Each structure stands twice: as C-alpha cells, then as structure tokens.
C-alpha cells in the first residue's frame, strides 16, 4: 500500500486511495478533453455537451473499477461472514428443543 509521510507511516486506507485515484482521474480526463476541444472552434453549447458526454464515457469505468467493484466485493465478503457466523450459532440454539419434564420416583 502507498505510504504517506515518514517511513513507517500509516498506509493509506482503501477509501482514501480510491478517492485520490478517482479525483486525479477526473482531473486528468477533464484536462485532456478540454485541451482537445480547444483545438476545435465549437459553439458553447455543443462544446459543453461533447465535454460532458466524453467525461461521462471515460469516468464511468474508472468509478466502476475503483468504487463499485470493491464495494460489492466487500458487501459479498461481509454477507458470507455473517452467514457463517449464523451457521455456527445455529447449533447452539437448536440443542435445547424445549423444557424437559423429569419424574422422580
């Protein structure tokens, strides 16, 4: 993992890393799109539409890769762990089927 600060510093958490990657990606993509669009002399409205559509097309896979896919993997892992915990707890609650009546003679 990426470390900040002095050697031996705390590693960057996954949400922070994802935020930095997505933010830097959006910045770089928008910069590239605007540089390419500046080569063409488009009216304001078509330039805005092309800019927005291009940004959406490029950033959507980045968001999927760094936000949605890790999030769904985390949710699946937590559901699996929860299911395993419930299975482990189930025999402990099933062994006693109810009160037993004991007769002493």
Distances (CA, A) of 71 to 13, 29, 34, 43, 75: 14, 23, 31, 40, 6
Specify the pLDDT at position 15: 83
Residues 6+ apart with CB under 8 A from 25: 59, 62
Specify the pLDDT at position 5: 46
Specify the pLDDT at position 1: 46
Domain ranges of the chain: 14-87
pLDDT per residue as tens digits for the range 37-48:
999 999 999 999
Specify the pLDDT at position 105: 64
What residue ranges of the chain have pLDDT lower than 50?
Answer: 1, 5-6
Query: How far, in Å, CA of 42 to CA of 48, rounded?
Result: 9
Specify the pLDDT at position 95: 53
Contact predicate 9/3, CB 8 Å: yes
């Amino acid at each position: 993992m990426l470390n900040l600060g002095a050697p031996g510093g705390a590693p960057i958490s996954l949400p922070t890393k994802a935020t930095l990657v997505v933010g830097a990606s959006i910045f770089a993509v928008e910069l590239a799109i605007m540089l390419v669009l500046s080569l063409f002399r488009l009216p304001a409205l078509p330039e805005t539409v092309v800019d927005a559509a291009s940004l959406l097309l490029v950033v959507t896979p980045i968001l999927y890769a760094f936000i949605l896919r890790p999030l769904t993997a985390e949710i699946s892992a937590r559901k699996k762990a929860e299911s395993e915990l419930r299975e482990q707890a189930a025999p402990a609650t099933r062994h006693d089927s109810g009160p037993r009546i004991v007769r002493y003679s």
